[in-house]
Structure formats: structure tokens, C-alpha cells
Amino acid sequence: MRILVAGGAGYIGSVVTRLLLDQGHQVVVLDDLSTGHADAVGQRAQLITADIADAERVIAEATADAPGFDAVMHFAAKSLVAESVREPAKYWHTNVVGTRALLDAITAHRIPRLVFSSTAAVYGEPEQIPITEDAPAAPTNTYGATKLAVDMMITSECVATELGAASLRYFNVAGAALGAGERHAVETHLIPIALDAAAGRRDTLTINGDDWPTPDGTCIRDYVHVLDLARAHVLALDAIRPGEHLICNLGNGNGFSVKQVVDTVSAVTGRSLPLEFGPRRPGDPAVLVASAERAKVTLGWRPEFDLSAMVRDAWEFTRAGTENAGRSDA
């Protein structure tokens, strides 16, 4: 297939881009590089530096003297939860208005498939664990609300235009693969923060609360390896049906506590972490674990990597630094 990857210079988008290329697809990446990295795209994909709002122009130019696109994969979004609460306009503009422009371009150019990077944040504080796709959507922050709005837009588009789409709702993504990994200017994810502490780049690692109603008193979250996640996106291309919007959770179905993650980081790196305990963060649920049964049935997907593999791969990428970027495209 010839595939447009919006946001393909970011963490997850770059891994998916490399997997698509390895499987023989042609890839054009659309990214404004506000948070992504040009070298993460590598040499084999074409990179067009532009805002998602310019999707119509980008697609028109990319198909003027070349075949049209068979699919779009959409990762382009603002994704910092705390920032979304402080600066909601930025998130509604980029995530929703930008996606509307992309959907208009998809319709105008009759692109038949869309795979959307959604999030578990659409569920808010769940009523039941594990969380299924039928759980009430009640986001507690602007980021989750914008992603839910896009999911709803996509459903409407599928009904009206026969677009076939899949929204993949991630839980916590970790690890590195195919020479790509996390390189965020502002890091909010536990595993890379813990690895920074192990590497001596942070004085302390703060655990938010040790009095949660869990076996060891720390929050429990669902983690999935970025390569497992990327495989789900590729499988979704074949599972999509015209006029239908498939929604699937992606997680391992087994939660890990913050303390388990910290202990795993210590074991993998061979280093003790400078820990301190702080108060609970307001709005944090004690447990968030996915049910990925629908993905297993409809996509034929199963996660292959355990927590140790996620930490090990992320640690190797962290130690290698930016030299990893582009390695798989040499």
C-alpha cells in the first residue's frame, strides 16, 4: 500500500513508519516537527514538513504525479494531559480542527482506510476493571475529550462516506524498536523518567502516593510495548471494512504497579533509583487495566513483550542516545 502517516516523526508514529517500510509499504510522513524529529523518519520514507491543517494541499501535491494513497494513519496530536487542562484551545485546535481538515482531505481524495491513534483517556475514571470498549466514555481532561470528539467525528464520516476506519485506544506505551524510541522534550511517562533517574539525569524519582488500595500501595497501570502497538496498526489495515468504524483497546491486560515498574528498571539497569514519595495526584484512579479481547478477536493481535522487555529496549535506546535515530534505514 501507499500510506500517509500523519505525525510519523513522533515516538509511536516513527516506529509504525519503520514497520510499514520493513513490510514493503510506501510511506509519506506528514509532520510539523513541533514535537517529532526528522531523523526519526529515516531515509526510506518521504517527509513533508507541514501542519495537519494543510492536509489537503499535502495530499494533492503528493498524488499529483504519483499513485493515490491507500490508507492514512493518524498520530498527529498534542498529548500532554496537564497542558491540555491549562491550554485547552491549543488541544481543540490541533486535535479536533486539525483532524477535521485531514478527514476533509481523505474524503476529497477518496482514501478508503484510516487508522487513528486514540487513547484510554477517553474513559476517564472507569467504573469497572478491566476496561472494555463498551465502558462509558467520560474523559476527565481536555486531551481525552478531544480524542473522544475525533472518535465521534470518524464514526460520522464512516456512515456518510463509506470510509473504513479503526480507532486504537492505547493505555501506557513503552519500549523502543527498529531504531526509534521516546525523545520527548517534556517527559511525563514513568518508564523514561525512571530510566533518567537510573542514568543520573534526575536527582529523585517521585512516586505519587503509597497508600492506594492496591497490593503494594502504588497505582497500577497497563503497559504495552511500542512494537506490539505498531503491529496492531498494521493488522488494522486488513481488518478495516468500508462504512465501519472499529474501536479497539490496546494493552497487555495485566496491570503493573508503579513499584513493580521501578523494581524492573532497577533490575534491568543494575542501578538503584533515588526514590521519594509524594501525595496522590488529584484525579488519578488507583487501577487502569485494559481488556484487549476485541483486538485479539478482530485484529488477530496479541502482545508479545513483557515489562522487562519494554524497560530493556527503552534503556538500550536511552543509552545509545540519538545515534539510534535512522539506524534501521542505513
CB 32 within 8 A of CB 52: yes
Please tell me whether residues 137 and 207 are part of one structural domain.
Answer: no
Please tell me whether residues 150 and 102 are part of one structural domain.
Answer: yes
CATH number at residue 121: 3.40.50.720
Please tell me whether residues 23 and 158 are part of one structural domain.
Answer: yes
Residue whose C-alpha is closest to residue 114's, from 212, 243, 206: 243
Q: Is the pLDDT of residue 324 over 70?
A: no
Higher pLDDT, 224 or 127: 224
Query: Which pLDDT does position 173 carry in this prediction?
Result: 94
Query: CA geometry: angle at 174 spanning 172 and 175, to 5°?
Result: 165
Angle between helices 307-320 and 190-198 (to 10 degrees): 60
Average pLDDT for 14-40:
96
Query: Which pLDDT does position 285 carry in this prediction?
Result: 80
Please tell me whether residues 10 and 112 are part of one structural domain.
Answer: yes
Average pLDDT for 318-324:
63
Please tell me whether residues 132 and 183 are part of one structural domain.
Answer: no
Measured distance CA(122)–CA(128) in Å, rounded: 14
- pTM as predicted: 0.93
Query: Which pLDDT does position 123 carry in this prediction?
Result: 93
Q: How many domains does the chain have?
A: 2
Average pLDDT for 162-184:
93
Neighbours of 177 (CB within 10 A): 23
Higher pLDDT, 185 or 261: 261
Measured distance CA(275)–CA(261) in Å, rounded: 13
Residue whose C-alpha is closest to residue 164's, from 119, 111, 118, 117: 111
Instruction: Give the residue carrying C-alpha cell 474524503.
Output: 107
Please tell me whether residues 135 and 208 are part of one structural domain.
Answer: no
Residue 185 pLDDT class (50, 70, 90 cuts): low
CB 225 within 8 A of CB 309: yes
β pairing state of 255-257 and 220-225: antiparallel
Q: Is the pLDDT of residue 329 over 60?
A: no
Structural domain range at position 321: 176-221+254-329
Helix, coil or strand: residue 300 = coil
Please tell me whether residues 132 and 272 are part of one structural domain.
Answer: no
Q: What is the DSSP string of 69-85?
A: PSEEEE------HHHHH
* Lookup: cell for 245: 468504524
Please tell me whether residues 196 and 284 are part of one structural domain.
Answer: yes
Per-residue pLDDT of 50-74, as tens digits, reads 999 999 999 999 999 889 999 999 9
Residue type, 95: N
Average pLDDT for 80-98:
93
CB 194 within 8 A of CB 262: yes
Measured distance CA(276)–CA(106) in Å, rounded: 49
* Lookup: cell for 47: 517527509
Please tell me whether residues 129 and 184 are part of one structural domain.
Answer: no
Residue whose C-alpha is closest to residue 172's, from 256, 275, 238, 61: 256
Q: Is the pLDDT of residue 145 over 80?
A: yes
Average pLDDT for 96-112:
97
pLDDT, averaged across the chain: 92
The catalytically annotated residue of 11, 143, 170, 223 is 143
* Lookup: cell for 214: 492496591
User: Which residues fall within 8 angstroms of residue 85, CB to CB, at 6 or more apart?
Assistant: 141, 142
CATH number at residue 294: 3.90.25.10
Average pLDDT for 98-102:
97
Measured distance CA(14)–CA(16) in Å, rounded: 5
Residue type, 167: S
Residue whose C-alpha is closest to residue 224's, from 325, 318, 287, 307: 307
Please tell me whether residues 15 and 36 are part of one structural domain.
Answer: yes
CB 30 within 8 A of CB 63: no
Please tell me whether residues 280 and 311 are part of one structural domain.
Answer: yes
Measured CA to CA in angstroms, residue 130 lies from 134, 147, 159 at distances of: 11, 20, 29
β pairing state of 71-74 and 2-6: parallel
The listed range with the strongest mean pLDDT (139-153, 181-195, 316-330) is 139-153
* 143 included as an active-site residue: yes
Please tell me whether residues 199 and 147 are part of one structural domain.
Answer: no
Query: Which pLDDT does position 328 carry in this prediction?
Result: 40
**What are residue 19's phi and psi, to 5 degrees?**
-65, -40
